[in-house]
Amino acid sequence: MIIQRVVLNSRPGKNGVPVAENFRLEQSTIADTVQEGQVRVKTLYLSVDPYMRCRMNEDTGSDYLQPWQLSEVADGGGIGVVEESKHHNLAKGDFVTSFTWPWQTAAILDGDLLQKLVPQLVNGRLSYFLGAAGITGLTALLGIREKGHVAAGANQTMVVSGAAGACGSLAGQIGRLEGCSRVVGIAGTDEKCSILVQEMGFDAAINYKKGDVAKQLRELCPGGVDVYFDNVGGDISDTVISQMNQNSHIILCGQISQYNKDVPYPPPLPPDIEKIQKERNITRERFLVLNYMDKQEASVLQLCQWIQEGKLKVRETVVEGLANIGAAFQSMMNGGNIGKQIVSVSK
């Protein structure tokens, strides 16, 4: 069977900026027959995520991420429909997902490695299982619950950097649902800031490309910062940390400003900021959602309930066609999208 697939064409290098040309679309084939325990699937949606930047390096800097190999098919979160099955628990027409879905139009996969989806849980919006009801939503929810120490009625202020991104846009809303009394986002355009406030319920949002971020933070968080959901690292995070309260908490979700630099993860703080962190007893622990998979099922159901009730607003940037996944990756790394970046492969 002839398919199309996307392979890693070149590496940008540890300090380089990824471009669409780092990926290559090519024709390939898969077997015509399905073996026992396998299913043949048609790919519907693929997820494009910041962590994938690390997989473009020969050394990912992480013990849980494997590097993509040159001229080999890339993979990540994906959703598809079963077209043929020899697996006892999967039937033709079932919708399934995997965290290691190959970037190709169709595939033969081990049925044991797939999770069956229930479209009704997300009002039929299957792509949500790659975002708000998937690993992105889990990262936001579990990060807040496990590392944020949010308590209803405690009058806590949360700041979210990268707040218009896939995880940040959910984290601010979840922080509010979990009990934060004030939520402030940091994003890169006036449009993104407007959406955060008017659509997603943030109390305020700061365009870090305009004005004095430190001054705006002091005005918008007069009682200081109790919880910081950190998606970006770098100068912005240093500014937020300098205004955090005693015994406050950093949820170390991502460091996208550092992903094109050859630095360890998490990147070390500047000496003056590290001093503040220690003096104020601010927690800053590496957070990995995969360490909390025992809480996955209940957490996904909570996310789906909030979506159904309209309490969790979801934004997606959908790019049509497998051929455009490299451009989608480049756009995502440049911060050009709002919410989750999804590639629609076939209808």
Cα 223 from Cα 238, distance rounded (Å): 18
Cα 24 from Cα 29, distance rounded (Å): 16
For residues 111-132, one letter each, b for 16 or more C-beta atoms within 10 angstroms of the residue's C-beta and e for the rest, the string is beebeebeeebbeeebbbbbbb
User: Quick one: pLDDT band at residue 334, thresholds 50, 70, 90?
Assistant: confident
Domains identified in the chain and CATH numbers? 2-131+315-344 (3.90.180.10), 135-290 (3.40.50.720)
User: Quick one: pLDDT band at residue 338, thresholds 50, 70, 90?
Assistant: confident
pLDDT digits (tens, 9 = 90+) for 224-238: 999 999 998 899 999
Residue 51 confidence (pLDDT) above 80? yes
Cα 21 from Cα 215, distance rounded (Å): 40
Cα 243 from Cα 219, distance rounded (Å): 11
pLDDT for residue 17? 86
Angle at CA of residue 175, ends 99 and 172, nearest 5°: 70
Interacting residues of 146 by C-beta distance below 8 A, sequence separation 6+: 287, 292
Cα 9 from Cα 25, distance rounded (Å): 9
Q: Percent of the chain at pLDDT above 90?
A: 80
Q: Which of 342, 335, 341, 340 is nearest to 162 (CA)?
A: 335
pLDDT for residue 133? 96
pLDDT for residue 224? 97
pLDDT for residue 263? 47
Backbone phi, then psi, for 157, in 5-degree steps?
-105, 130
pLDDT digits (tens, 9 = 90+) for 247-259: 999 999 876 544 4
pLDDT digits (tens, 9 = 90+) for 117-136: 999 999 999 999 999 999 99
pLDDT for residue 331? 87
Structure-model confidence comparison of residues 128 and 334, the more confident one: 128
Cα 183 from Cα 268, distance rounded (Å): 26
Residue 261 confidence (pLDDT) above 50? no
pLDDT digits (tens, 9 = 90+) for 190-233: 999 999 999 999 999 999 999 899 999 999 999 999 999 999 88
* Rg of the chain (C-alpha set): 20
pLDDT for residue 267? 78
pLDDT for residue 155? 95
pLDDT for residue 208? 96
